[in-house]
Structure 1
Amino acid sequence: MVIEINKDIDRYQETVALGLTAKQLIFSVASVVVGGGLVLLLYKYIGLTGAAYVAIPCVAPIALGGFYSYNGMSFYEYMGKKLQFMFHNKALTYVSTESEQAIKAYEAEQSNTGKKKKAGKGEKTEVTDNKKNKEDFEAMKKKTKGILIGMIAAVVAAVAGAVIYKATR
């Protein structure tokens, strides 16, 4: 008698129906209901193709919620982390862990050997680099928000235009 055991026991999933887990089955049914409902509601106004184009972006996040997993996170957890990193992160800055005494000892050592470096000039460029990095980060953050808002506005405008076009014909 041979009993096959999954080699990776941590990833074992018990199937409920059609080879799907309970979570996958629930999200599949929900996506079919939402997608079918949208297509049936919009079919009269914008046709089958237009209704499908509107339904797909609405159904995709629902379906991904049941099937997508990355590093043990579900789709919604992963996208929450991505949005948090995009909009709520602070710029990281470098803070020296060396004390003034260590810097003075280094300067004294350099002056004794005749290879004195200008520490003040290097420190100023580090501070200006940190400021520049923060400004660049904030500018990129604003640009990303603008692009995201623009994309949402474009999708809404396209759907509204399609509905108005079909309603006036």
Structure 2
Amino acid sequence: MTDQTNVKLRLNNSELWGGLIGLALGAFVVWSGLKLRLGTINDPGSGFVLFYTGLLMCVFAVTIIVAAATEGGPTFGSRWKDARWTKPLLVIASLIAFSFALNPLGFLLSTIPLMLLLLRLIDPVRWSLAIPIALLAPLGVWWVLKRLLLIQLPSGILEIG
């Protein structure tokens, strides 16, 4: 391989670009934390956690960039080859439908069908397991959020609570 081909392969490295985007995002988070005031460890400011989270993001991004530059990585084309789009698109469509149904139907009446749909179609679970999970998980989350944490949830047509 010539040097020109080697450079071309490195520029098509999807992990390198992912690391660069992560580094830019981490730098933005660091900058946002600095803008909000850091404070001290005993009296943290509103940007304290944001700043250190951004630093951690930058460290992770740099390790990805170094690994991609030294070891290489897959190209963009190989990442998307043989991709199956039906399940991700079904999840996106069901989450969009859930977001529209949440206010009018309420938390429980919109979450239970969403759970049932995801349990049966995305990673198929048998009905005898899917129905109890789809009923009990939203009811448990509703009880914790509404009764213990006193968080107001959309009640919709049920008007529970």
| The structure with more radius of gyration | 1
Q: TM-score, normalised by structure 1?
A: 0.31
